[in-house]
């Protein structure tokens, strides 16, 4: 025998259940329209997407799209962006275990898959002077950046980051965004795995450069380096960098 309370209200036969069923239906319908819109905004500049297109893509009538989004395309675009932002925010929520570079690579894999999948929409939104950017979309994008910075500082186990460490993390996030746009401009060259590894190297290089002038960052970097494997990304970067520096004989003291 199954306990009906274990089922969503829509599965029960009660009157309140019917109301819940309708509410659930509204939520689902809304999500369906947002999904359809996001699919269109991902591959065309927003000015080339009409509510008609969304209705066709979602296989519903145009009035229905307007009923759900009476504010028209702007409201639908912001809703689609909000949904995309929620997905992007999740990218950096990777488990707090293992070497930092492995965690960053996992986060970047998700982030870059999103960029790849939503290329035109990503460009259109973040291009300077974008026609679709408003103070509201700007706030959504900034929310994603802040959340990503928060996640990274949590991975670094820094509850009270100083200005230099905060600036390093925020600057790297800007750099990831800029590199993603350049990558799209360059016809998605080099391969996404190389871009990911290069962005991880960039993080390590920036963390070490910042550590060279800031005690807090130096402690954080030392703790992070201790977790890196002897044959991992950091070891490889370190060896190749020291080789380059050693070739310019005058820069490093002889061992």
Q: Interaction with a copy of itself in 156-195: which residues (CB under 8 A)?
A: 163-164, 166-167, 170-175, 177-179, 182-183, 186, 189-190, 194
Among 29, 30, 110, 202, binds a copy of itself (CB under 8 A): 202
Closer residue to a copy of itself (CB): 19 or 209 = 209
Closer residue to a copy of itself (CB): 18 or 171 = 171
Among 70, 135, 159, 160, binds a copy of itself (CB under 8 A): 135
Among 136, 150, 192, 216, binds a copy of itself (CB under 8 A): 136
Q: Buried b / exposed e across 63-77, counting CB within 10 Å, b at 16+?
A: eebeebbeeebeebb
Q: Take residue 123 and report the two structure tokens written for it.
A: 């460009």
Number of residues that bind a copy of itself (CB under 8 A): 72
Q: Interaction with a copy of itself in 61-120: which residues (CB under 8 A)?
A: none
DSSP 61: -
To the nearest 10°, report the CA torsion of 40, 45, 51, 53.
Answer: -50
Nearest distance in Å: CB 148, a copy of itself: 13
Task: Count CB neighbours of 38 within 10 A.
Answer: 21
Instruction: Report whether 164 contacts 220 (CB < 8 A).
Output: no
Closer residue to a copy of itself (CB): 55 or 237 = 237
Closer residue to a copy of itself (CB): 42 or 165 = 165
Closer residue to a copy of itself (CB): 72 or 138 = 138
Nearest distance in Å: CB 232, a copy of itself: 9
Which residue stretch of 84-92, 95-103, 105-113, 239-247 sits at the interface with a copy of itself (rule: CB under 8 A)? Answer: 239-247
Q: For residues 222 and 135, give the distance between their C-alpha atoms in angstroms, rounded to a whole number.
A: 40
Among 138, 146, 157, 193, binds a copy of itself (CB under 8 A): 138
∠ CA(219), CA(224), CA(225), 5° rounding? 100
Among 51, 56, 126, 192, binds a copy of itself (CB under 8 A): 126
Instruction: Report whether 221 contacts 208 (CB < 8 A).
Output: yes
Nearest distance in Å: CB 113, a copy of itself: 19
Q: For residues 195 and 178, give the distance between their C-alpha atoms in angstroms, rounded to a whole number.
A: 12
Q: Take residue 91 and report the two structure tokens written for it.
A: 């990218």
Q: Where are the beta strands (DSSP E) in 14-137?
A: none
7 binds a copy of itself (CB under 8 A): no
Counting Cα atoms < 13 Å in the Cβ hemisphere of 162 gives: 11
Q: Interaction with a copy of itself in 206-235: which residues (CB under 8 A)?
A: 206, 208-213, 218, 221-222, 225-226, 228, 230, 234-235
């Amino acid at each position: 025998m199954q306990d009906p309370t274990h089922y969503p209200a829509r599965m029960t036969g009660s009157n309140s259940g019917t109301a819940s069923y309708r509410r659930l239906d509204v939520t689902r319908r809304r999500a369906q329209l947002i999904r359809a819109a996001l699919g269109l905004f991902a591959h065309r500049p927003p000015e080339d997407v009409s509510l008609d297109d969304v209705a066709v893509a979602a296989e519903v009538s145009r009035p229905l799209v307007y009923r759900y989004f009476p504010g028209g395309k702007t409201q639908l675009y912001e809703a689609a962006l909000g949904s995309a932002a929620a997905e992007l925010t999740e990218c950096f929520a990777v488990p707090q275990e293992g070497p930092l570079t492995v965690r960053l690579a996992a986060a970047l894999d998700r982030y870059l898959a999103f960029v790849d999948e939503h290329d035109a929409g990503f460009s259109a939104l973040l291009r300077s002077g974008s026609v679709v950017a408003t103070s509201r979309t700007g706030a959504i994008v900034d929310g994603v950046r802040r959340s990503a910075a928060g996640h990274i500082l949590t991975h670094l186990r820094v509850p009270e980051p100083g200005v230099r460490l905060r600036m390093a993390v925020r600057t790297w996030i800007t750099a990831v965004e800029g590199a993603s746009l350049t990558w799209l401009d360059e016809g998605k060259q080099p391969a996404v795995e190389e871009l990911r590894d290069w962005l991880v190297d960039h993080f390590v290089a920036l963390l070490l450069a910042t550590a060279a002038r800031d005690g807090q960052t130096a402690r954080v970097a030392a703790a992070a380096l201790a977790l890196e494997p002897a044959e991992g990304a950091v070891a490889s970067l370190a060896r190749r960098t020291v080789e380059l520096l050693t070739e310019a004989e005058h820069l490093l003291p002889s061992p």
